[in-house]
Amino acid sequence: MALTRRHFLKTMGVATGVGLAGDHLFSPAFADGKGPDQAAMTIPTYCEICFWKCGAMARVVDGHVVKLEGNPLHPNSRGKLCARGNAGMGLLYDPDRLKSPMISTGARGEGKFKKASWDEAFNYTAEKMLKIKKTYGPEAMALFAHGCAGSICQHMISAYGSPNIVMPSFAQCRGPRDVGYEVTFGMGPSSPERVDLVNSKVVVLFGSHLGENMHNSQVQDFAESVARGAKYIVVDPRFSIAAGKAEHWLPVRPGSDTALILAWINLIIQNGWHDKAYLDRYATGLPELTASVKQYTPEWAEKETDIPAATIVETARLMGLYKPAVCIHPGRHASWYGNDVQRARAMAILTAVLGSWGREGGLFLPTKASLPKIEGKPYPAMRDSVSQMSKYPFAGAEGLTNEVRQATITGKPYPIKGWIVTGTNLMKTLPNQKETLEAIKKLDLLVAVDVMPFDTVMLADVILPECSYLERFDDLAVGRGRSLGVSIRKAAVKPLYDTKDGYSIASGLAQRLGVGEYFPVPTLEEKIQQTCKHWNLSYDELSTKGFIGIPNTASPYITPENQPHFETPSGKIELVSSELKRKGFDPVPRYAPQPQPPAGMFRLLYGRSPVHTFSRTTNNPWLYELHKENEVWLNAKKAKEMNVKHGQYVVLVNQDGAKSNRVKAKVTNRIREDAVYIVHGFGTTSKELHKAYLKGADDQGLITQYAIDPICGSTGMRTNFVKIEKEA
Ligand code: MGD
Ligand code: SF4
């Protein structure tokens, strides 16, 4: 049965026999008029609406999830969920969900699918994967992964023999940040970041729009630190929510943050506001750093950043006064301009000169608690991955999505012929959608493992629908914050549709690929029970509490007994990086100005909404009600010049002629004149998403130019300019 797009959803609904009212914002328990106390159960889970993985409890009545609550024991939620976490049932009961395996019957992307049984879908996929392996070698299959299903698929693809596992969380997100901190301190700032906001006297945010960028416990800490009187210095071209709480808002010229940071480092050292004793004891390279940053005066920085020299001096003095209780927040989404490792390096060095690494109010030390290692069957020998063979020496373990895409297009350094895409919407995630489509055209196989029919899923040859996180077990989540902790996710309800959990999908494929021995345990629940035994944790206790913490016996701060360990070549904080020097890069960050928008154009900036996660929540019925479409922030003076009114629909056109969907103008004084801003993730082109389809502007569609960081290979994406056109 060949299906057009129009019939796709209808067929999936018919196939399952589960009737859900299309527009219900409540779960069927309420829709049926049943009260909350009938056959009630509380099932522990951890939230999957973003990667913060907050511990949660699902309240289930008569087989329906009726409420989600934060697990009070869990450090990332502390009894609270954010709006997105509360709306997890919106995903579970979204009528647009994928409801059975599908195999494409038309040309790729044409939207013609037939419903398939799991056997058919597994056999189809495995047959093609085995053919690719035979013809090109196992490395010709790549896995793009994000989230829990991604982790278990990694095991399957490694058993198959491919090293090409990539995640957007490195090259499109925090890769440059992690590399910048690793070469300085020998380790990254972790996720969740080890920021001691509640004890900070001064907090500096570079574009980190806490509160809009919603990471539950970190936003709770942010609120508490504001209440406790911490002084915030917010560096952002836009007057963000965080800027509204700040002592100093520095509306920096986009792309010039490094100039500001280098001027601060220079001022702090020249005025003796640095922590000399700390640097003497723990750092190397102070004389070379001092000489190198001498050129970066506040007057010079004013010209680059548009921040008055006097403000630069005043804010540097503030940091010096309150050191070491100064938290230079390392940020998270750091792939901005293509020179991002060096900006992160500058932030790390600023942290070091203030003596804030490992100090109260700065960044606390990682927990020393640990869990016993689990040894599995070793994977077969593999070729080097495309990322390892790239020209970027600091490509991290999470790999370079963009390099795999490039290898798929060019066949170099070797052909990539198949992609499995799980939990990531590449069309919305990678810059330059034309390149993504070009690569997809060259594939022999595109498999999507997903819950929703998002843009990339609709391009697949075969769709393997995963059940939502409330219908499945997932591997134990190990969190490393102030302490180590283990969370469990149990299935709160049975799968509503013909869907499977990630473990069953990965092991179903593994059996047919001849590597079933890598999945010796039949179900994930049994595997979790084995892991609990190995870690000496009670499965029953974990099943009741949802979370077990393993206390950190060491102090989170440097003390005479608790000395820090820096895994750099020198064993010290490297103000001058020996690793960067050895690989031919500037060992001390140097400032390079960014191109500025041509006349009549604005730099395109993007960020987050507190009620959405990237593109993944845009069709969630609850969250859709809260934020249906994005707006373009436009400076009021510029809007007046162009005669654009607040609320008027406009179209954004970039330097290469790429056009956005219609998007409402938000006319405001809260943004610089040279930039516009939209929230990322909107404007899906999947017609199967009946709420989100074409709602708002897709920032990724306008990001046709990107700048690759020469050190780690991440893609800087704030490199595009747009003009505003009125709707025709
Ligand atoms: P999401 O949009 O959350 O993240 O980008 P992505 O990795 O694409 O992923 C969406 C896909 O995951 C959807 O298809 C959704 O249905 C699916 N999904 C949701 N839950 C599940 C599940 O339980 N199982 C499975 N199998 N699938 C699921 C994020 C990436 O984007 C990141 S990390 C960053 S920081 C970057 N942010 C960013 C930006 O801000 N602007 C621009 N222009 N680009 C960006 N790219 C990066
Ligand atoms: Fe879920 Fe919100 Fe926590 Fe993310 S921050 S895991 S969406 S509750």
Domains delineated in the chain: 1-162+382-555 (3.40.50.740), 173-360+567-582 (3.40.228.10), 602-726 (2.40.40.20)
Binned at pLDDT 50, 70 and 90, residue 193 comes out as: very high
Structure confidence at residue 38 (pLDDT): 54
190: left (phi over 0), alpha (psi -120 to 50) or beta: left
DSSP class of 441: H
pTM, two decimal places: 0.93
**Residue (of 622, 496, 618) closest to 25 by Cα position:** 622
615 lines ligand 1 (CB under 6 A): yes
**Residue (of 391, 452, 315) closest to 583 by Cα position:** 391
Q: What is the mean pLDDT of the chain?
A: 94
Residue with the smallest CA separation from ligand 2 atom 4 is 50
**Mean local confidence (pLDDT), 309-338:** 98
49 lines ligand 2 (CB under 6 A): yes
| Separation of alpha carbons 714 and 338, rounded Å | 7
Distance of CA 154 from the midpoint of ligand 1 (Å) = 17
Distance of CA 641 from the midpoint of ligand 1 (Å) = 37
User: From the alpha carbon of 214, which atom of ligand 2 is closest?
Assistant: 5
| Separation of alpha carbons 216 and 613, rounded Å | 13
Dump pLDDT digits (tens) for 691-708. Answer: 999 999 999 999 999 999
Structure confidence at residue 149 (pLDDT): 75
Task: For residue 144, report the phi and psi dihedrals to the nearest 5 degrees.
Answer: -100, 120
User: From the alpha carbon of 149, which atom of ligand 1 is closest?
Assistant: 26
3-state secondary structure of 689: coil
Determine whether 632 is exposed, middle or buried from the number of CB atoms within 10 Å of its CB (0-12, 13-18, 19+).
buried
| Separation of alpha carbons 627 and 255, rounded Å | 29
Of the two residues 480 and 283, the one the predictor is more confident about is: 283
Distance of CA 618 from the midpoint of ligand 1 (Å) = 11
75 lines ligand 2 (CB under 6 A): no
User: From the alpha carbon of 430, which atom of ligand 1 is closest?
Assistant: 46
Q: In the predicted model, is pLDDT for residue 33 greater than 80?
A: no
| Separation of alpha carbons 419 and 599, rounded Å | 41
Binned at pLDDT 50, 70 and 90, residue 35 comes out as: very low
Q: In the predicted model, is pLDDT for residue 24 greater than 60?
A: no
Q: Contact at 8 Å (CB) between 619 and 96?
A: yes
Dump pLDDT digits (tens) for 181-190. Answer: 999 999 999 9
Task: Tally helices (H) and strands (E) across the chain.
Answer: 25, 27
Distance of CA 28 from the midpoint of ligand 2 (Å) = 23
Q: What is the dihedral of CA 148, 525, 68, 47, to 10 degrees?
A: -20
Residue 623 in tokens: 């969250």
User: From the alpha carbon of 49, which atom of ligand 1 is closest?
Assistant: 20
Structure confidence at residue 16 (pLDDT): 32
Q: In the predicted model, is pLDDT for residue 296 greater than 80?
A: yes
Distances from the Cα of 601 to the Cα of 433, 642, 661, 674, angstroms? 22, 12, 18, 8
DSSP H helical ranges for 174-329: 175-185, 216-227, 257-270, 276-282, 286-293, 298-305, 309-322
Dump pLDDT digits (tens) for 37-61. Answer: 456 899 999 999 999 999 999 999 9
Distances from the Cα of 216 to the Cα of 220, 333, 352, 483, 606, angstroms? 6, 16, 27, 17, 21
DSSP H helical ranges for 17-144: 28-31, 83-86, 88-92, 118-136
**Residue (of 250, 277, 290, 284) closest to 354 by Cα position:** 277
N-term to C-term CA, the chain: 41
Q: In the predicted model, is pLDDT for residue 548 greater than 70?
A: yes
State the ligand closest to the CA atom of 173.
1
**Mean local confidence (pLDDT), 230-256:** 98
DSSP collapsed to 3 states, 338-363: CCHHHHHHHHHHHHHHCCCECCCCCE
Q: Contact at 8 Å (CB) between 324 and 359?
A: yes
State the ligand closest to the CA atom of 215.
2
DSSP line for 543-601 = HHHSEEEE---S-SS--SSS-----STTSSEESS-HHHHHTTS-SS----PPPPPPTT-
| Kind and range of the H or E run holding 701 | helix 699-702
What residue type is assigned to position 591 of the chain?
Y
Q: How many C-beta neighbours within 10 Å does residue 107 have?
A: 9
Distance of CA 210 from the midpoint of ligand 2 (Å) = 14
Residue with the smallest CA separation from ligand 1 atom 31 is 429
List of residues 6+ apart from 465 with CB closer than 8 A? 97, 98, 99, 100, 101, 102, 449, 450, 451, 497, 498, 499, 500
Distances from the Cα of 45 to the Cα of 39, 74, 503, angstroms? 19, 11, 16
Among 54, 92, 332, 612, say which to mutate for ligand 2: greatest number of ligand atoms within 8 Å of CB. 54
Binned at pLDDT 50, 70 and 90, residue 7 comes out as: very low
Distance of CA 293 from the midpoint of ligand 2 (Å) = 40
Residue 266 in tokens: 């220079």
**Mean local confidence (pLDDT), 671-692:** 98
Structure confidence at residue 482 (pLDDT): 84
Structure confidence at residue 12 (pLDDT): 38
Distance of CA 428 from the midpoint of ligand 1 (Å) = 8
177 lines ligand 1 (CB under 6 A): no
| Separation of alpha carbons 539 and 545, rounded Å | 10
Residue with the smallest CA separation from ligand 2 atom 3 is 54
Q: In the predicted model, is pLDDT for residue 229 greater than 70?
A: yes
Q: In the predicted model, is pLDDT for residue 27 greater than 90?
A: no
Binned at pLDDT 50, 70 and 90, residue 518 comes out as: very high
Q: Contact at 8 Å (CB) between 640 and 100?
A: no
Q: In the predicted model, is pLDDT for residue 323 greater than 50?
A: yes
Q: In the predicted model, is pLDDT for residue 5 greater than 80?
A: no
Residue with the smallest CA separation from ligand 2 atom 8 is 85
Q: In the predicted model, is pLDDT for residue 30 greater than 60?
A: no
Residue with the smallest CA separation from ligand 1 atom 3 is 616
% residues pLDDT > 70 (the chain): 95
Q: How many C-beta neighbours within 10 Å does residue 673 have?
A: 14
Q: Contact at 8 Å (CB) between 349 and 534?
A: no
Structure confidence at residue 552 (pLDDT): 87
333 lines ligand 2 (CB under 6 A): no
Distance of CA 276 from the midpoint of ligand 2 (Å) = 40
Structure confidence at residue 373 (pLDDT): 93
Dump pLDDT digits (tens) for 476-512. Answer: 999 988 889 999 999 999 999 999 999 999 999 999 9
User: From the alpha carbon of 46, which atom of ligand 2 is closest?
Assistant: 6
Dump pLDDT digits (tens) for 347-398. Answer: 999 999 999 999 999 999 999 999 999 999 999 999 999 999 999 999 988 9
Q: Contact at 8 Å (CB) between 259 and 338?
A: no
Residue with the smallest CA separation from ligand 1 atom 18 is 423
List of residues 6+ apart from 285 with CB closer than 8 A? 574, 575, 576, 587, 588
158 lines ligand 1 (CB under 6 A): no
**Mean local confidence (pLDDT), 103-125:** 96
| Kind and range of the H or E run holding 637 | helix 636-642
Distances from the Cα of 570 to the Cα of 184, 433, 655, angstroms? 10, 43, 46
215 lines ligand 2 (CB under 6 A): yes
**Mean local confidence (pLDDT), 24-36:** 41
Question: Could you tell me how far CA 174 lies from the centroid of its own chain?
Answer: 8
For CA atoms 177, 178, 184, 189, the dihedral sign is: positive
Dump pLDDT digits (tens) for 550-603. Answer: 988 899 999 999 999 999 999 999 999 999 999 999 999 999 999 999 999 999
Look at strands 484-489 and 474-480 and give their pairing.
antiparallel
**Mean local confidence (pLDDT), 438-450:** 98
Residue 717 in tokens: 């994406």
User: From the alpha carbon of 455, which atom of ligand 1 is closest?
Assistant: 14
Among 80, 92, 216, say which to mutate for ligand 2: greatest number of ligand atoms within 8 Å of CB. 216
**Residue (of 593, 513, 547, 469) closest to 49 by Cα position:** 469
**Mean local confidence (pLDDT), 520-529:** 95
| Separation of alpha carbons 435 and 414, rounded Å | 18
